[in-house]
Amino acid sequence: MRREFKFRAKTTDGKLMYGIPYKTPLGFWSMRDKDGTGYCIDPDTIGQFTECYDVTGREIYEDDILAFGYEDWPSFELAEDNPPYLCRWKNTTFETTPITLVGTDQEEDETYPLAHTRDMDYPRRHFKIIGNKYDNPEIFKQK
C-alpha cells in the first residue's frame, strides 16, 4: 500500500492551496500550484490529507470540522448529543474530537482515531465535512 502525501494550506491572501509545503531559503513558507507558480502560505494553516473521504467523496484534511451520522441516522444534524468534531494529528494518527471538548480535561475520553470510525466491527459511521477551523471559527464559539 502506498501512502499519498498531500497538504492543504491558506495563502497569505486567504486562498486555499493543495500540494507540498516547503520553507524557502529566505525563511518563509511556500506551496506551488499545478502550474508551478509558488505562493506564500501561512504555516499555521498547513494540514495533511488523512487519506479518508467524507460521504460526498471530499478529501478530509487535518483541521477539518466534521458532522457525523449513522446508516440509520444519516442527517448530519448537529445537536448537543451530536456535536461537530475536529480532525487533527495526535498520538501518531489522525483523530476526531468533539469541538465542545477541545482543550478540556475530558478531551482524551472522547477522542477517536479517524480510521476507527470506519471499522466494520462498529455501527457504520459516516462523516461529512462542514468546514475547517480557519474558515469557520464561529463553530468553535458554540462551545
Give the pLDDT confidence of 51-100 residue by residue, as tens digits: 888 888 899 999 999 988 766 666 777 777 778 888 988 767 788 888 87
Is the domain of 30 the same as that of 53?
Answer: no
The pTM for the full model equals 0.81
Residue 123 to residues 10, 13, 62, 71, 119, Cα–Cα distance (Å):
35, 42, 24, 8, 8
Q: What is the pLDDT of residue 106?
A: 80
1 part of a folded domain: no
Question: Are residues 68 and 23 part of one domain?
Answer: no
pLDDT score, position 1: 56
Share of the chain above pLDDT 70, in %: 81
Are residue 76 and residue 121 in the same domain, yes or no?
A: yes
Query: What residues are paired with 64 via a beta bridge?
Result: 132
Asked if the structure places residue 94 within a domain, the reply is yes
Domain that holds residue 11: 7-44
Pick from 54, 129, 63, 38: which is nearest to 17 by CA?
38
Give the total number of structural domains in the chain. Answer: 2
